[in-house]
Amino acid sequence: MIIRKYNKEHDEDNLMALIKNEGQGWSCYWADNLSEKYKAALKNSITYVAFEGDVLCGYSRSIDDCGFYVYVCDLLVRPEYRRKNIGKRLMECIYEDYPERIVFVMSDIDEYYKKLGYKREGSIFEVTKGI
């Protein structure tokens, strides 16, 4: 297993295929003209990719809050590679590369992060207009 920083030229097509194969739950990144926005986000984020041989089996994407915090936005492992600690290893890359930062996860898969031993800290709300 090799985990390294994302390289647009080498990883973009495989990564977008991985996301698309995950189904409708991830369509906010690939449907319509959103894929171009997400490709730009990947390039401008803290993005790691995990490979087993030539197979892209997982990735994480995080954003840097101007040196204060790191927020994990996306963590995805190909179904056939789950339960092999790939997600955990992708998370470890973040706090190894940014040891002075507090790392937060934005997720709707809370049980996974609880299993890793992460502590729930607050909640996240969507701000909507006109309410």
* Domain range list for the chain: 2-115
CA 25, 60, 119, 112 dihedral sign is positive
- Measured in Å, how far apart are the chain's first and last C-alpha atoms? 48
Residue 102 CA, chain-centre distance (Å), reads 16
pLDDT, mean over the chain:
91
Distances from the Cα of 10 to the Cα of 28, 40, 49, 121, angstroms? 23, 15, 11, 36
Q: Per the structure block, which two tokens stand in for 127?
A: 């701000």
Q: What is the pLDDT of residues 30-61, one digit of tens each?
A: 887 788 999 999 999 999 999 999 999 999 99
Give the position of tokens 């299993």: 115
pTM of the model: 0.89
pLDDT(131) > 70? no
| Mean pLDDT value of segment 5-23 | 93
Q: pLDDT value at position 87?
A: 94
| Mean pLDDT value of segment 18-36 | 86
Q: What is the pLDDT of residues 81-127, one digit of tens each?
A: 999 999 999 999 998 999 999 999 988 777 888 888 888 888 777 78
CATH fold of 2-115: Aminopeptidase (3.40.630)
